[in-house]
Structure 1
Amino acid sequence: MRVHFVVHEAFEAPGAFETWAKARGHAITHSRVYLGEPLPASAEDIDLLIVMGGPQSPATTKDECPHFDAAAECELISDCVKADRAVIGVCLGSQLIGNALGAPFEHSPEKEIGKFPIALTAAGVGHPMFQHFGATLDVGHWHNDMPGLTKDAVVIAYSAGCPRQIIEYAPLVYGFQCHMELTAQEIELLIAASEAEFPALTSHRFVQQPDALRANDYRAMNEKLFGFLDLLAAACRREAAMPTA
C-alpha cells in the first residue's frame, strides 16, 4: 500500500500513523509543506492519503501562511475521493475533507487539549470499522474547530466538548477531529510549540497543562488506531480487487 502524508508543521507529526505504516511495510511518501515540499499532482500514486493537523484552519490564506494552500489540498482530497482512494484527515485534515466535499468547517463548542473520552454513537458502535473501540475510548485532543457535515456524513464518535470527533464521509473517507496518533514524542513537540499559550488556558475545562499531558499514556489509543487502519487497508484491497466497469 502506498501511503502519502501531508504534514503542515514539524510539531504536527504523523506519529502512530507512520509507526503503523512502517510496521506493515507500506511505501511512505510525504508532502512536508512547511519545508516547501509539493503536494502530489494527482491521486495516481496514492492508495491512502493522510492529511495531518496544524494551527491553520481551512480559512487560512496564503498571505497569512505562505506554505499552506487550503484550496490545493482540498483539490487533492477531492481527486483521491473521486478515484476511490482512502483518505484520513486529522484535526485540520478532517476539516479540509469537509470543505473539499462542500461542508465548511465550524468552531467547536469547546477548546480541547489533552486526553479525554470520546463516546461512540449508535452508528459507531455498530460500525465494523469501529466495533473494537468499545462504547467509549480515551483519546488525544488539540483543537478549537471541527469539521463540517455533508448530507451523507455519519458521526461515529463525539465528546463532551465537541459533537464531531470521528466522521465517516464515505466508506474509505474518515475525519478524525481527535488525535489518536499522539505519542510521548509528539506531545513534547506540541508542548514546545504552544508552551506560551498554556497560562491563559487554565479556565478551560477540557485543557490539560503540560505536566498532565506528559503523564498521559497514549499507547492504548494507538493500538485502537492500528486496528482501524488494518481494517481500512483491507477495505482498500477489496476495492482494488473489484472489477472495473
Structure 2
Amino acid sequence: MTKPILIIQHEETEGPGYIYDWATEKQMPLSVINPQKSPFPQSGFSGVIILGGMMNVCERERLPWLANEIAWVKNCIELPIPILGICLGAQILAYALEAEVRQLPQEEMGWLPIRSTTALNFNLESVFQAHSYFFEIPEGAICLAESDLCPHQAFLFSERIMGLQFHLEWSSEDIAQLFPEYFKTYGSSEKLHQQGRDFLYKILDTHFYKLDNLR
C-alpha cells in the first residue's frame, strides 16, 4: 500500500486546495496534521508538503511548536523523500537548510508577475502572493524565480526539495475566503488559476507521483 504524502497545515483556513484535487486524481493518499495540535510522525509517509500560515520563522521562540517543526523538517531533509514548502513552508525549509529568512521592505499581496531565473521556465503570467517575509537561497540550492519586490521566489535543493514563496494551490474560492476585501475589489482570473494549477500539477507529478512509482 502506498504511504501517504504528509501535509503540514498551519491554519484551519489554509488547506491543501488544488493539492487535494491532484491527489484524488492520482489516487495518492494524503495525511493532514496541524503541528499546533498533533505530534510529528517519524515514519510512515512518502513525502512532505508544508503549507503556509500567518506566523513566520522569526516567531519560533514565542511559538515552541514552530521550533519543533523546524527541527523535525531538518530530520526530514535527511530522508530520501520529496519535500515541497509553500510560503511559510518554503521559509521553514530554507531556514532548516541554514538560510536566513528576512522581512521584505514592502509586502507582496495579490496577483503579481514573477520571472524564471533558470532554464526551468515557470511560464506563469502572475501568481498569487501573500507574504511580508522571504527566504535567502540555501547553500547548494538553485534560485528558480524572482520578482520586482522579492529576489527569491522559488528554490530547488538536491533535486527533491522545493520551496515556493507563492500560492499555486489556492482556488478563487480559497482567495475569496481568505482575503474577502481583496477579492471584492480585484476579483480573480480563471486563466491565472488554470496556469497555476497546471504548473502545480507538473511539480507534484515530477516530485511525488513519479518518484513514488519508482519505489
Paired letter, 1:15? G
CA distance, structure 2, for counterparts of residue 62 and residue 184 of structure 1 = 34
Among candidates 7, 12, 15, match of residue 13 of structure 1: 15
Give the structure 2 partner of residue 32 of structure 1.
34
Among candidates 134, 143, 155, match of residue 131 of structure 2: 143
Q: Deviations over 1:120-166 (max 9, x none)?
A: 01x2xx23xxx4x33x4321111001123222121101112211111
Give the structure 2 partner of residue 199 of structure 1.
none
CA distance, structure 2, for counterparts of residue 93 and residue 60 of structure 1 = 14
CA distance, structure 2, for counterparts of residue 184 and residue 144 of structure 1 = 21
1:213 CA displacement: 4.6
CA distance, structure 2, for counterparts of residue 158 and residue 168 of structure 1 = 13
TM-score, reference length from structure 1: 0.78
Give the structure 2 partner of residue 214 of structure 1.
187
CA distance, structure 2, for counterparts of residue 81 and residue 168 of structure 1 = 13
Give the structure 2 partner of residue 228 of structure 1.
203
Point out where structure 1 has 5 or more consecutive residues left out of the alignment. 196-208
Point out where structure 2 has 5 or more consecutive residues left out of the alignment. none
Among candidates 151, 161, 182, match of residue 149 of structure 2: 161
Give the structure 2 partner of residue 182 of structure 1.
170
CA distance, structure 1, for counterparts of residue 35 and residue 74 of structure 2 = 18
Specify the SS of the correspondent of 2:114.
strand
Q: Deviations over 1:196-239 (max 9, x none)?
A: xxxxxxxxxxxxx332453332222111110121111255247x
RMSD: 2.1
Give the structure 1 partner of residue 55 of structure 2.
56
In the alignment, is the contact (CA less than 8 A) between 1:47 and 1:236 conserved in 2?
no
Percent identity, aligned pairs only, is 23
Specify the SS of the correspondent of 1:9.
coil
**Aligned counterparts, 1:59-70, within 5 A:** 59-61=58-60, 63=62, 65=63, 69-70=65-66
In the alignment, is the contact (CA less than 8 A) between 2:46 and 2:212 conserved in 1?
no
Give the structure 1 partner of residue 159 of structure 2.
171
CA distance, structure 2, for counterparts of residue 102 and residue 75 of structure 1 = 12
1:76 CA displacement: 2.0
In the alignment, is the contact (CA less than 8 A) between 1:5 and 1:49 conserved in 2?
yes
Specify the SS of the correspondent of 2:125.
strand
Paired letter, 1:138? S
Evaluate the alpha carbon distance shift between residue 168 and residue 213 of structure 1 in structure 2; reply closer, same or farther with a 3 A threshold. Answer: farther
Larger radius of gyration: 1
Specify the SS of the correspondent of 2:174.
helix
In the alignment, is the contact (CA less than 8 A) between 2:35 and 2:69 conserved in 1?
no
CA distance, structure 2, for counterparts of residue 226 and residue 12 of structure 1 = 18
TM-score, reference length from structure 2: 0.89
In the alignment, is the contact (CA less than 8 A) between 1:101 and 1:150 conserved in 2?
yes
Q: Aligned residues, how many?
A: 211
CA distance, structure 2, for counterparts of residue 234 and residue 52 of structure 1 = 18
